Amino acid sequence: MTAISVNPAVAIPAALPGALGRVLVLGGGYSGQRFGRALAQLGIAVTLSRRDAVAAAGQDPATLRWIRFDPASGAVPTAEELAGTTHLLVTIPPDGSGRDPVLNHLARQLESLPLAWVGYLSTTGVYGDRGGGWVDEATPVAPNLERSRARLGCEAAWRQQGLPLQVFRLPAIYGPGRSPFRDLRQGSARLIHKPGQVFCRIHVDDIVGALLHCIARPAAGRPDTVILADQTPCPSSETLGFAAHLLGCKLPDVQPWARLEASLSPMARSFWSENRRVSSRLLQQGLGYRLLYPSYREGYLNCLAGESAAVGPGCRT
């Protein structure tokens, strides 16, 4: 397993270490690992789940352990593995039937845990297409895509459990290893232009920082739904242009959407089918969280520093 380092700039609330007991992250992928390792570096006991084999001993801090959760193969955590969990983060998406796999297989075990906080990572896709208009937590949901309707259904299922739940709605997630730089270096980046289209995004370390910020707040001051996003919705051509500038390489030729749409996969077309701007004003002004990366510009500089250390600078031309 590739180790994921944690950005030291992530702010750790002073009240956090004393507020946490045992932390469980169901879904130890990109965001889940980043969150778990930030806590493990504080000496907090963290357990993460994966579908595949447990990480080899010695690759992680002593406070970080791995368990298997793969319902399709019958691998479900035992009551002993979950015992004592006080804080739970769920990053696992709906299953093929649109249901939540955690609740399908672990709901009864969760009821017996002394949970003080449960975070569920959802999607801003639940707001549907807004023609480029703004949405926030008070905007009525109107999901168009099947996967967004499934996420909304999972949100509802979690809300019915009577747990101390916070739902976090996220746009596209980026960070070191998930940026345009690899495609630019390899010459595989695509510059697509669709008039009026914008996308929203959030750096993975601002996900971690915002989650820690919310956990550290008193329970009475935690909104049940929070959008995590930066302050700069913009076209993908703008972000790709900035990334190419940082690498010093030439942008690929523009591909107009009208000529390209028919050749894209259904998943790619669905990605471009919705257009909205999402506001994180509640997170920043209401809850007082200060974004590490208020725009992709600061975020891409962070990504480039981390990625260049691993693969070297430069761009494939």
Residue 77 lies in a domain: yes
Residue 40 lies in a domain: yes
Distance CA 145, CA 270 (A): 7
Domain range enclosing 79: 16-175+201-231+277-295
DSSP 169-201: EE-EEEBTTBSTHHHHHHT---EEE-TT--B-E
Tell me what pLDDT residue 1 has.
34
Looking at the DSSP bridge assignments, the partners of residue 23 are: 46, 87
Residue 248 lies in a domain: no
Question: Number of helices and strands (H, E) in the chain?
Answer: 12, 13
DSSP 26-68: E--SHHHHHHHHHHHTTT--EEEEESSPPPPTTSS-TTEEEEE
Tell me what pLDDT residue 234 has.
97
Residue 307 lies in a domain: no
Residue 189 lies in a domain: no
Find the CATH number of the domain harbouring 126. 3.40.50.720
Distance CA 308, CA 314 (A): 8
Number of structural domains in the chain: 1
Closest listed residue to residue 256, CA positions, set 202, 197, 298, 201: 197
Distance CA 70, CA 183 (A): 31
Residue 66 lies in a domain: yes
Residue 161 lies in a domain: yes
Residue 82 lies in a domain: yes
Q: Are 28 and 66 in contact (CB under 8 A)?
A: yes
Tell me what pLDDT residue 166 has.
98
Query: Is-above-0.85 flag for pTM?
Result: yes
Which residues of the chain are modeled with pLDDT < 70? 1-8, 53-61, 309-317
Per-residue pLDDT tens over the stretch 94-125: 999 999 999 999 999 999 999 999 999 999 99
